[in-house]
């Protein structure tokens, strides 16, 4: 994402949230245990995870509710998640 879009998103998130704030992340990953575990490791044990599997079981939708200290921490989590093979961030 280019810097102007990041700046606009940062401003919008700062309008909506007072920090620290709970934030909801959504991801879809191939249903391999190591990929699901990798997402969990990014957020740690204090986060709340909800998982739903696709009808054929090939994919897992993961919703993460986690306390974020600021908008930059949100961006960092998405950057870490982007390193997971096959992940889709929503």
Distances (CA, A) of 84 to 10, 38, 67, 69, 77: 24, 7, 21, 23, 12
Q: Which of 65, 59, 67 is nearest to 18 (CA)?
A: 67
Dump pLDDT digits (tens) for 66-87.
999 999 999 999 999 999 999 9
Q: Which fold would CATH assign to domain 3-89?
A: Alpha-Beta Plaits (3.30.70)
Please report, for the chain, the start and end positions of each structural domain, with discontinuous segments joined by +. Answer: 3-89
Strand partners, 64: 25, 49
Start-to-end C-alpha separation, the chain: 14
pLDDT digit string, tens, across residues 16-73: 999 999 999 999 999 999 999 999 999 999 999 999 999 999 999 999 999 999 999 9
What strands, in cross-sheet order, belong to the sheet with 21-30? 48-53, 59-68, 21-30, 88-89
């Amino acid at each position: 994402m280019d810097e102007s879009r990041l700046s606009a998103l940062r401003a919008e998130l700062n309008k909506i949230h007072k920090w620290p704030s709970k934030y909801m992340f959504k991801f879809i990953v191939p249903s391999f245990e190591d990929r699901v575990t990798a997402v969990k490791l990014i957020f740690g044990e204090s986060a709340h995870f909800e998982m739903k599997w696709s009808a054929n079981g090939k994919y897992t939708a993961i919703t993460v509710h986690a306390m974020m200290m600021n908008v930059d921490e949100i961006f960092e989590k998405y950057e870490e998640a982007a390193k997971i093979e096959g992940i889709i961030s929503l």
